[in-house]
Structure formats: structure tokens, C-alpha cells
Amino acid sequence: MAMSDFRQEFIDFAISRDALCFGEFKTKAGRMSPYFFNAGRFNDGDSLRKLGQFYAKAILAARLPLDMLFGPAYKGIPLVSTVAIALAEIGYNYAFCFNRKEVKDHGEGGNLVGARLAGRVLIVDDVISAGVSVDESISYIHTSGAAPSGVIIALDRMERGSGGLSALQEVRNAHKIPAISIIGLDDIVKYLRSRMDLACNLPAMETYRALYGAD
């Protein structure tokens, strides 16, 4: 399946689950956004299964190097689990691991759960805002003697932060690893151009991209 094909299918899927909505929403940065993406809307077994399959398609299409998967708490925990299952179903069986927010002082102890971090580790998350969770994940990986090999998220908002770069671009520059998304803002704009019933949202989306889009 071509890259553009599954991106369009993912947008259809996200809209059908109300994970991608259009209107007027305030972002963490205080900007008024004409769209909102909430991965928490993939909140039943079927939608989580399909979400994992889209991540798997994006990972394989990008040919990301990896030996295992890591999901940062909290949203990364179900994500890394369903992505591992989706990859295994098509013949790619990878170990996975996730962290706790609080260190466990009994039982096995520590703040990591799952397979031991080793080799090339791909980080699986929903979105990146300030990149804090990525920095923490990379710290866990390095401390364990493993190597971060990339980051994959569901949506790249493609808007600049404090400088001219987007969060994904900052991750690439800071850590020298590939950082990709299933879809980006440009994919949503392109999708709206093909949907007469949703085209009314297009002017606001293009204006937002012009105002806040990364270089």
C-alpha cells in the first residue's frame, strides 16, 4: 500500500472515531486551532487494534531500524502494546517495554516494565509537544545501554515552537535520529481538499498553517 493511501485511510479512521475534530480549540501553546487530535478517542478494542495497524504500516513504509519498541507512560503504554501485536501479526515479532511514572519499590522494582532495553529501540508515542517525553525516553534507553533508533507518533502538527522548527524537527536535530508521523498537518489539508463535505474547514486550516507552520 502506498504511503499516501494509508495516510488518507488514517484520517478517515480518526474522523470516524472523533479523534480528529474540526472547529475552534485552544492548544497548550495558547493558540486557537481549527482542529484537534485526541488519541484517547481510540478507546475500544477494535479502534486500538486498527490504530496499531496504522503505526505498523508507517514503521514499515519508513523502513525504521529497530530491535525493539518503547512506549513512554501513559499513552505510550497501550500504543506500544498494540503496535507490537500489529507487527507480530504480519511477521515482525519485536519485544517491547514501557516505563512507570513512579518507581516501584517492591516486587521486581524499578520504573521499567517488559523486555530489557537492548539494541536499537524505537520510541512509540501519540504526539510530541515540547519533546519532554522523548528526552525522558532517550535517557532511559541510554542508561540501559541501548540505543534510540527513532521516534514515531500519530500526528505531526508541523507547527513551530519557540523557534522556527517543529517538535519533530527539534527531536531530529537534538538526537540525530529519524522522527516520523503517520500523518502531518499537510496531509489533513490535502485530505480536506478532496472532501466537499469538509472543505468549509479548509480556509481556517490553511490560515493556521501560514501563521504557525514550521519553516
Question: What value does the mean pLDDT take over residues 103-123?
Answer: 79
End-to-end Cα distance, the chain: 30
Query: Which residue ranges make up each domain of the chain?
Result: 3-212
Query: Residue 2 above 60 pLDDT?
Result: no
| CATH code at 3-212 | 3.40.50.2020
Query: Residue 104 above 70 pLDDT?
Result: no
| Catalytic machinery residues | 104, 106
pLDDT tens, position by position, 116-162: 999 999 999 998 866 677 888 999 999 999 999 999 999 999 988 77
Place of cell 512507570: 100
Query: Residue 101 above 90 pLDDT?
Result: no
pLDDT at 111: 82
Mean pLDDT of the chain: 90
Question: What value does the mean pLDDT take over residues 161-185?
Answer: 90
pLDDT tens, position by position, 181-214: 999 999 999 999 999 999 999 999 999 999 999 8
Spatial distance between the Cα atoms of 50 and 46, rounded to a whole number of angstroms:
6
pLDDT at 127: 86
pLDDT at 107: 45
